[in-house]
Structure formats: structure tokens, C-alpha cells
Structure 1
Amino acid sequence: MIYIYNDFGGTHTTVLAASYHLNKLDVNREPTKTEILASHNFNKLVYKDRGKLYFHGTDEEGNQVYTMGRGRSKILIPGIYNLIQMLLDENVLHEKIILSNTSPTVPLSMTMGGMLSRWLKIDFIGVPLLVMGAKQAYKDIVNLVHQTKQAAKISASQLVMLENKGLK
């Protein structure tokens, strides 16, 4: 199985979701600033990285975990969904794929921190806001990862797209 966590930038909530999924962050407590900033690709991706898949590791069940930023595109995820479906239909791909949107877990502080840090390069204000947002969103992201894993287990479909709109 392949999990792909996606959101606008692919560098904050997706990275944290992948870290919780892979048990790199403890799901039973709020992460520390050091743990957040040490998460693979946290606050490191830029505009040109959107649409790229980033491998984060293999979980305890042998499933691969990826992240991706989609930017403002309304067609990227549906396009990827359709491509994967075609590959499944043609028997070229045999893995179950789960696309999970982490955007509903993003608090305002993380949105502001991301804009200040990634777009305006004002890290001394943006990074503390991102850390605050990561701490605020911790339970929501852990819940999203849990629900994503559950949906993957119960779905009979080889391709699942989770919008996660009602999570907060």
C-alpha cells in the first residue's frame, strides 16, 4: 500500500502526518520545537517542489509513505487520481493507493507562519508561528493519520481519495 499525504505546500502538515504515520513523532504527546523542525522536509520545500512526491519511509506494515504539495491547483490531485486509476485498470499498478488531504488540519498560525517563512523569507516571525501551529494541530493531525489508516483498511477499492473535510 502507498499513502500520499497532500496539502498546499507539502512542507508542514503533510510532513507532520508522515512523521506520525511512521512513528517518528510520538502520537501520545505534543511534539517539541526540536522534533517539529527536525521532521524530514519541514518548512524546507519551495514553489518549484509542488507536484513532486517525497518519500518519507516505510511503516510497520510495509506501506510506503509519501507527501506532496499541490499548490493552488484544483486539478493536480484529480489528475493524479485519474492516472493511478488508469494504471490500476490496465493492470500496470498493483498497489493500493491512499491520497489523504491534510489541509483541514492547518490552523491559522500555521498558514500565517508558512506565508511569512516560505513566501516572504521572514523566518524569525514565520518559524515560531509554524511551531505554534504544529503544536496546535498535533491532535488533529494524529486523528487524520488514524482515520486515513482506518479508511485504507476498510476500503475495498484499490484507490482511495480522502478530502478529510469534517475532521476539525
Structure 2
Amino acid sequence: MIYIYNDFGGTHTTVMAAAYHLKKLTPTRAPTRHEILTTHNFNELVYADRGKLFFHGIDDEGNPVYTMGRGRSKILIPGVVNLLSMLMEENRLHEKIVLSNTSPTVPLPMTLGGMLSRWLKIDAIGVPLLLYGAKIAYRDIVNLVDHTKSVAKQSSSQLIVLDNKRSS
């Protein structure tokens, strides 16, 4: 099975989801400032990285975990799904693949922090907002990853696309 966590930039909630999935972050408490900032690719990706898959590691069940930023594209994920479906139909791909959208976990401070830090290069304001937002989002990220893994194990589908709606 292959897990791919995706969202707009692929550099905040996705990487935290991958880190939690790989047990690099604990579910029992929000990560520290140091843990967040040293998470692989946290706040490091740029516009040109959109659409690229980034490998984060192998989970305890032997499954690779990736992240991807999709930007504003409304066609990237459907295009990826179409390509994977075609490869599966032609028996060229035999892995179960799970695409899980982390966007519903993004709180307003993280959105603002990402815009300030990644787009405007104002890290002095953006990074503290990102850290605050990451701590707010962490419980939702943990729940999303747990849900993603549960659906993946229970589903007989070879290709699973989880849009993950925002909880109210």
C-alpha cells in the first residue's frame, strides 16, 4: 500500500501527517516548536514543487508514505487518479494507493502563516503563525491519519481517494 497525503502547498499539514503516520510525532501531545520545524520539508517547499511526490519513509507495516502539494489545481488529483486507474486496469500497478487530503485540517493561522512565509518571505511573522496553527491543527491531523489508515485497511478498493471534509 502507498499513502499520499496532499494539500495546497504540501509543506505544512501534509508533512505533519506523514511524520505522525511514521511515528516521528506522538499522538499524545502537540509537537514542540523544534519537532515541528525539524519535520521533513516543513515550510520548505516552493511553488515549483507543486505536483511532485516527496518520500517521507516506510511505516511500521512496510508501506511507503509520500506527500504532495497540488496548488490551486482542480485537475491534478483527478489526473493522478486517472493515471493510476489506467495503470491498475492494465495490470501495470498492483499496489493499493491511498490519496488523503489534509486541507480540512488547516486552521486560519496556518493559512496566513503560509502565505506570509512562503509567498511574501516574511518569516518573522509567518513562522510563528505557522507554529501556532500547527499546534491547533495537530489533533485534527492525528484523527485524519488514523481515519486514513483505518479506511485503507478496511477497503477492498485498490485506489482510495479521501477528500476528508472539515469537521464542524
RMSD of the alignment, in Å?
Answer: 0.7
Give the total of aligned pairs: 168
Structure 2, unaligned runs of 5 or more: none
Distance 2:130 2:12 in 1: 8
| CA deviation profile, 1:61-97 (whole Å, cap 9, x unmatched) | 0000000000000000000001001000000001000
* Matching of residues 42-121 of structure 1 within 5 Å: 42-121=42-121
- Asked if 2 retains the 8 angstrom alpha-carbon contact of 1:144 and 1:167, the reply is no
| CA deviation profile, 1:121-158 (whole Å, cap 9, x unmatched) | 00000000000000000100000000000010111100
Distance 2:162 2:130 in 1: 24
Distance 1:159 1:118 in 2: 32
The alpha carbon displacement at 1:46 in A equals 0.2
Aligned residue type for 1:149: K
Distance 2:167 2:161 in 1: 15
- Asked if 2 retains the 8 angstrom alpha-carbon contact of 1:53 and 1:68, the reply is yes
Report runs of 4+ in structure 1 exceeding 2 Å deviation: none
* Sequence identity (%): 74
Aligned residue type for 1:153: K
- Asked if 2 retains the 8 angstrom alpha-carbon contact of 1:54 and 1:67, the reply is yes
Distance 1:42 1:167 in 2: 24
The alpha carbon displacement at 1:167 in A equals 3.7
Structure 1, unaligned runs of 5 or more: none
Q: Structure 1 pair 27/96, CA: closer, same or farther in 2 (3 Å)? A: same
Aligned residue type for 1:112: L
The alpha carbon displacement at 1:166 in A equals 4.1
Distance 2:121 2:131 in 1: 16
Structure 2-normalised TM-score? 0.99
SS for the counterpart of 2:160 is: strand
Q: Structure 1 pair 115/166, CA: closer, same or farther in 2 (3 Å)? A: closer
- Asked if 1 retains the 8 angstrom alpha-carbon contact of 2:5 and 2:18, the reply is yes
Aligned residue type for 1:85: S
Distance 1:51 1:167 in 2: 26
